[in-house]
A = this chain, B = another copy of it.
Amino acid sequence: MYGENLKLSVFGESHGAAIGMTMEGVPAGLPVEEARLQQFLNRRAPGQNAWSTPRREEDRPEFLSGVLDGHTTGAPLTAVIYNHNTRSRDYEALRFTPRPGHADYTAFVKYGGFADAAGGGHFSGRLTAPLCVAGGLCKLWLEERGIRVAAHLQSIGGIADDAFDPLHPEIDRVSPDFPVLSPEKGEKMRERIAKVHAEGDSVGGVVECAVTGLPAGLGGPGCEGMESRIASLAFAIPAVKGVSFGAGFAAADRRGSENNDAFAVEGGRVVTVTNHCGGILGGITNAMPLLMHLAVKPTPSIARPQQSVDLRTMQPCPLEITGRHDPCIAPRAVPVAEAVAAIAVFDTLLGTK
């Protein structure tokens, strides 16, 4: 449940009947361009590439409420994606031997064994699909107002892409195929992913996300700040373990004279000469590009044998996870990062006159 002006609720379990989301507070009359939304969703979908899980189905949302004749009606907007994979009994075995790095154990403690363990249940990365339905719509609605949201892979397993220019992020340079700025670096990343995959392992990455065209004055003090609003949703993405804005952790090593962004006037508008603050001062946008980094941990599901515990007997229990899994989820986290930023920004914008 997220939002101040939008109220977003995501539901579903990875192997249940359907996953979906409801957004309340969407103004009436906004366009719902299903084809463009689908393009966005396909960027998150599995199975499109060698390094990703095999394609099972297209994530095609059906709108149950809030959309009529291609426009929002002002009623709560509900979209569902039906699951075609039936609930597998394979998961039964996993029920009492939690997978390291997953929510299996903590969900077991919290829900007392009633949780739908199949495929991670409500904790599955699959739940980012309805998040992307919401975020994809917000992203399109922001574009109508001249606000663009774009992300790329900043690094994978230590191999770094070029960074966005903090003053003029090269959004159009991001490759539609593999989301990097530098094709060479992208090639190296793919090789790295293939290598760890061959070794039955996985690897993490960092996503950089930019929002351009923002007005100054969005956000506020305390938890109304843009960093708080975005981070609270970004940490809802499974596997995200760090969120930073602007120079982020690098700012901690700097001096004030290096880190402060001097003000100047450009084309009659106040700008900053550098953008170490990532477009946010005191929680409020300053009309410079908003810049965020997300740290994505390596996929916890790996082919190598791991050590778990049988929760019934409380005895150590070796674990081997079968099936195919993404050796690196960071590429698929790129559109999710955009979705999160778009939702947070659109929510804030709705509350601003």
Interface residues of A (CB under 8 A from B): 1-2, 5, 7, 9-13, 16-20, 22, 24, 27-29, 62-66, 68, 71-78, 80, 98, 100-103, 105-107, 109-116, 121-123, 127, 155-158, 196, 201-206, 216-217, 219-225, 227-229, 231-233, 235-236, 238, 240-249, 251-265, 268, 270, 272-273, 277-278, 280-286, 293, 295-302, 304, 306-309, 311, 314-316, 330, 351, 353
Partner of A115, one of B7, B75, B103, B244: B75
- The answer to whether residues A115 and B73 also contact, given A101-B261, A204-B259, A282-B106 and a CB cut-off of 8 A, is yes
Going nearest first, the 5 A-B pairs with the smallest beta carbon separation are A103-B282, A242-B244, A75-B122, A106-B284, A202-B256
B12 and A9 form a contact (CB under 8 A): no
- The answer to whether residues A251 and B260 also contact, given A236-B222, A351-B351 and a CB cut-off of 8 A, is no
Shortest distance in angstroms between A145's beta carbon and chain B's nearest beta carbon? Answer: 13
A280 to B109, CA, bound (A): 13
A205 to B254, CA, bound (A): 8
- From A157, which residue of chain B is reached at the shortest CB distance? B253
B241 and A246 form a contact (CB under 8 A): yes
A242 to B304, CA, bound (A): 33
A241 to B273, CA, bound (A): 19
CB contacts (< 8 Å) of A11 on chain B: these are 22, 24, 64-66, 75-78
Partner of A302, one of B71, B222, B236, B256: B256
A324 to B28, CA, bound (A): 30
A297 to B244, CA, bound (A): 12
Name the residue in A224, A243, A270 with the highest tally of chain B Cβ atoms < 10 Å from its Cβ: A243
Given contacts A12-B78, A101-B261, A109-B216, list 9 more A-B pairs with CB under 8 A: A1-B223, A17-B63, A18-B64, A110-B219, A206-B252, A222-B236, A223-B236, A241-B249, A251-B297
A299 to B302, CA, bound (A): 43
A333 to B260, CA, bound (A): 19
B277 and A101 form a contact (CB under 8 A): yes
- From A66, which residue of chain B is reached at the shortest CB distance? B11
- The answer to whether residues A285 and B106 also contact, given A100-B262, A255-B157, A260-B306 and a CB cut-off of 8 A, is yes
- From A110, which residue of chain B is reached at the shortest CB distance? B217
B115 and A268 form a contact (CB under 8 A): no
Partner of A123, one of B68, B196, B259, B282: B282
- The answer to whether residues A116 and B256 also contact, given A20-B64, A110-B220 and a CB cut-off of 8 A, is no
- From A286, which residue of chain B is reached at the shortest CB distance? B106
- The answer to whether residues A242 and B242 also contact, given A102-B282, A263-B105, A264-B307 and a CB cut-off of 8 A, is yes
A121 to B247, CA, bound (A): 25
CB contacts (< 8 Å) of A277 on chain B: these are 101, 241
Partner of A299, one of B155, B217, B243, B256: B256
CB contacts (< 8 Å) of A74 on chain B: these are 107, 110-111, 114-115, 122
23 A-B residue pairings within 8 Å (CB atoms): A9-B22, A11-B78, A12-B65, A12-B78, A28-B110, A74-B111, A103-B281, A103-B282, A106-B219, A106-B282, A107-B282, A110-B216, A203-B256, A204-B251, A238-B282, A241-B246, A241-B278, A242-B251, A257-B302, A257-B304, A259-B300, A265-B314, A270-B311
